[in-house]
Amino acid sequence: MYIDFTGLPARQAYFWLASTVTPRPVAWVSTVSASGQPNLAPFSFFQVVTHTPPTLMICPLANSDGSMKDTPANIEATGEFVVNLVPHALVQQMNQTSFGFERGVSEWEKAGLSGLTSQKVAPRRVLGAPVAFECRKVGVTPYPADKPSCWIVLGEVVAAHVDPAILAPDHQVDPDRLDLVSRMGADWYGRTKSDLNFELPRPEGWAR
């Protein structure tokens, strides 16, 4: 099956990319607007960029009218955000916060979530998230520049909160204890907690 992406409608391009580039981790991003309004939204176009300096990337898509979503707008205005990782125990609440509520409606309240005070940034972190990264803005870049379909947000991690319960006896992160959800195609999700997980050592001679 050959697919020519150069002439593919945007909806179809999204379907093929989002359904095959899986599993994708979910960034549950908490922000605060310039006027102090809190916001919380999940994004699966999310990844680590580098560890020097420690940097994360999220790519919020544009609204249906082409406008910028609240999350990148808040980050651009305040320069701060928190990336909360989503455990299976909070997947329903995460899904609720993906709804496009009217501006001024609190996703925190609608999903019945509580927040914890961050140490270095203003946005709160989600109570129950096993890991939360406090980030400061590196850049918010529209892409493509002439007619953005998304905003590429880079943030430097300045602090993290890690639940000790996710660590194995050797102090390594245990995927089963972490039990994060990942985004797949359509309505499908995955979990890091799985009997099918396996370890694979680096090739012999590879320098750590």
Tens-place pLDDT, residues 57-78: 999 999 999 999 999 999 999 9
Alpha helices in the chain (DSSP H): 10-20, 70-78, 91-97, 107-110, 175-178
Res 208: pLDDT: 63
Buried b (16+ CB within 10 A) or exposed e, 93-116: bbebbbeebeeeeebbeebebebe
Residues of the chain with pLDDT under 70: 207-208
Structure tokens at 140: 């918010």
Give the integer Cα–Cα distance in Å for 153 and 72.
7
Q: Does domain 25-188 have CATH number 1.10.1490.10?
A: no
Res 105: pLDDT: 86
Res 100: pLDDT: 87
Cis? peptide before 169, omega within 30° of 0: no
